[in-house]
Amino acid sequence: MPLKPTAPETQALFLALNDALPQTQCTRCGFPDCASYARAMAEGQAAINQCPPGGQAGIERLAALTGQPMVMLNPEHGIEGPRHVAIIDEAWCIGCTLCIKACPTDAILGANKVMHTVIEPWCTGCELCIPVCPVDCIALENMTGADSGWAAWSAEQAHTARERYTSRQQRLVREEATHQQQQVAKAEHKLADLNAHTKGTENAPEMDRKRAIIEAALAKAKARQAGA
């Protein structure tokens, strides 16, 4: 019976597997991002044939790293195909920002009620923007003809995609921390002058009710801050 790999060995394998993935962050593997899939493979919790963007060439890389035999791409996760780029029909875009929120690499430029556009070099073709668009104004354009898998995606593109995904995750963490700080400050401000924020200040039960609501919101916001 083979020995269970040590924690350092598992970590080294995870890093190597993550480097071997295309970093499209498409979630088709069944995990929220490429790093999560790499971690699951390193820990023996996922098969090596769940990445359609990497295709068979990608499976060969993962097989070589894990020592597992070559297998075919699992069709349950999709099929290998050319690299696509999302194209927004700006005439139909309503500026809802849902695609911006869905894009894992911040490759969509726009704002609320302003038409959006895709920054082509940053788009990984993940398709996550397609289902969230309420007016179906996003289409996919084949950028690589018959080339697919790693023949349609370079190591440089994978590196850029991973950097942009990491940067986006860090930005979201910062924005959430700022939001929680604002919520705490807002609740503390209301508690400090509850009379000014309560109609009918002579109504003691209403004051107590509002105080309890604000204190609960404040405690919740502080708990989120502590867990961030």
Q: Indicate the pairing of strand 138-142 with strand 84-88.
A: antiparallel
Domain count, the chain: 3
Instruction: Mark whether 93 and 65 lie in a shared domain.
Output: no
Q: Do 18 and 34 form a contact (C-beta atoms < 8 A)?
A: yes
**Sorting pLDDT into bands at 50, 70 and 90, what band is 204?**
low
Instruction: Mark whether 134 and 179 lie in a shared domain.
Output: no
Average pLDDT over residues 141-157: 97
3 state SS of 126: coil
Average pLDDT over residues 191-220: 68
- Mean confidence (pLDDT) of the chain: 89
**Sorting pLDDT into bands at 50, 70 and 90, what band is 154?**
very high
Q: Is residue 67 part of a domain?
A: yes
Q: Which of 40, 59, 77 is the endpoint of a domain?
A: 77
Under 8 Å CB-to-CB from 206, ≥6 apart: which residues? 198, 199, 200
pLDDT of 1 above 50: no
Give the residue from 109, 111, 107, 108 showing the smallest Cα distance to 94: 111
- The reported pLDDT for the residue numbered 209 is 72
Domain boundaries, position 191: 173-227
Tell if the pTM clears 0.85, that is, is over it.
no
- The reported pLDDT for the residue numbered 158 is 98
